[in-house]
Amino acid sequence: MAPLGFIFIGGSVNSAVDTVRPLVWTSSGLEVLDQRRLPFEVVYNTYQNVHQVAEAIATMQVRGAPAIGIAAAYGVVLAGHDRFAKDSLSWREGLETDMGVLAASRPTAVNLFWALDRMRSVIAGLSDPAQNPQQVLEQEAIAIHAADIEGNFMMGRLGARYLQNASGLLTHCNTGSLATGGYGTALGVIRSAVSEGGKAVYATETRPWSQGARLTIWELNQDRIPATLIADSAAAFLMQSGRIQWVIVGADRIAANGDTANKIGTYALSVAARYHGVKMMVVAPMSTIDWKTVSGQEIHIEERDGGELLSESFRGNGSVIDAWNPVFDVTPAGLIDVIVTEKGVVENPGIESMKSLLN
């Protein structure tokens, strides 16, 4: 990668409550904070070609739907540079192959495809077939990255308006700076609300991958935001105690009617929240909404290997024990009180109310 002469870390990191960035674009390539090693080690790996970036996504060094999309966009920049350097005439075909590699790295992440489509549009818009695409690709990737963070700031403001009278907030999984360009979606709303004071923040452990216990509380600790970790199964008991008024989560995919696929356990929280009169907020960028998916019933749920739950002694060797390890579940729109996007808010989401976001 040719030196680019500047570093893009994604938005201004000038607030004491917003210091973490998972992706840093530099003259040496894409620096990726290796989230598998958190909270024990803070290590940025520098990647200089598209295959390394795809590998970083596949192995969950970077995770979270928005962050995956941004990483993929930078992957296209690196691929464009290499393909053009190799063959300044037929680089487009090779680049399309590389985008296929990126698309296969995490097949259920809707933001990933959205980001690749944006990069494709840039290429399609080049007037001179022999033009070096590097500069426009890089501009687009940085624009995606910057817009994600700006969108998160906006969602933070929009979402926090609902929380002025709340004293306790619960979040699930990691939807913070680590899952996005920076600041976060659901955790961004919590950052914004906390900055106004008087909020207790609770985070679930989020088994089996423990995004809450490893990532969310790590970044909250980095940003000096006090928080309390709970077991996933303690959330309903916490609600019974009256200590929280809102559950605030992100989304992996939102259907046109507002049904929301998100980390396993979100549905359980939504059922418990409704039972206790606790409100449920989903926070996600517009790129998470899949308008072609009519309802949650059409969303295929990825299942991961049971080894994340089962100890080695129960695998093989005549064991009669199995594991069921769905990564996501689907929360019906009827159990969601508010969906917050960077383009506006939908209360009581449904097929009709969701359309307001398109205007």
Give the three-class secondary structure for 144.
Answer: helix
Q: Which residue stretch of 9-17, 19-27, 208-216, 342-350 sits at the interface with a copy of itself (rule: CB under 8 A)?
A: 208-216
Among 60, 146, 229, 351, the residue binding a copy of itself under the rule CB under 8 A is 229
By CB under 8 A, is residue 217 in contact with a copy of itself?
yes
**Residue 151 vs residues 77, 93, 109, 145, 158: alpha-carbon distances, Å:** 22, 33, 19, 10, 10
206: contact with a copy of itself by CB under 8 A: yes
- The site map against a copy of itself for 305-334 (x = CB under 8 A) is -x--xxx-xx----xxxxxxxx--x-----
Q: Residue 350 class from Cβ within 10 Å (0-12 exposed, 13-18 middle, 19+ buried)?
A: middle
Least Cβ distance, residue 268 to a copy of itself (angstroms): 4
Q: Judged by CB under 8 A, which stretch of 48-56, 179-187, 247-255, 270-278 contacts a copy of itself?
A: 270-278
Options 12, 88, 228, 297; binder of a copy of itself; rule CB under 8 A: 228
Distant-in-sequence contacts of 272-279, Cβ < 8 A, 24+ apart: 272/235, 272/236, 272/239, 273/239, 273/247, 273/335, 274/335, 275/236, 275/239, 276/236, 276/239, 276/240, 278/239, 278/244, 278/245, 278/246, 278/247, 279/162, 279/245, 279/246, 279/247, 279/337, 279/338
> Based on CB atoms, which residue is closest to a copy of itself, 225 or 284?
225
Q: Which is nearer to a copy of itself, 41 or 128 (CB)?
A: 41
Query: CA–CA separation, 49 vs 226, rounded Å?
Result: 39
Residue 187's identity, in one-letter code, is: L
- Could you give the CA distance from residue 285 to residue 240 in angstroms, rounded to a whole number? 31
Nearest distance, CB of residue 10 and a copy of itself, angstroms: 24
265 near a copy of itself (CB under 8 A):
yes
Check whether the bond before 3 is cis (ω within 30° of 0): no
Number of residues that bind a copy of itself (CB under 8 A): 53
Residue 264 engages a copy of itself in binding (rule: CB under 8 A):
yes
Q: Which helix (H) or strand (E) holds 263?
A: strand 260-263
Residue 154 as a binder of a copy of itself (CB under 8 A): the answer is no
Residue from 82, 98, 232, 252 carrying the catalytic annotation: 252
Interface with a copy of itself (CB under 8 A), residue from 9, 58, 271, 286: 271
Q: Which residues contact 213 (CB under 8 A, 6 or more apart)?
A: 203, 205, 206, 229
Q: Is 278 in the site for a copy of itself (CB under 8 A)?
A: no
Active site residue 232: no
Binding site for a copy of itself (CB under 8 A): 39-40, 202, 204-208, 213-214, 217-218, 220-221, 224-238, 240, 264-265, 267-268, 271-272, 274-275, 306, 309-311, 313-314, 319-326, 329
Catalytically annotated residues:
252
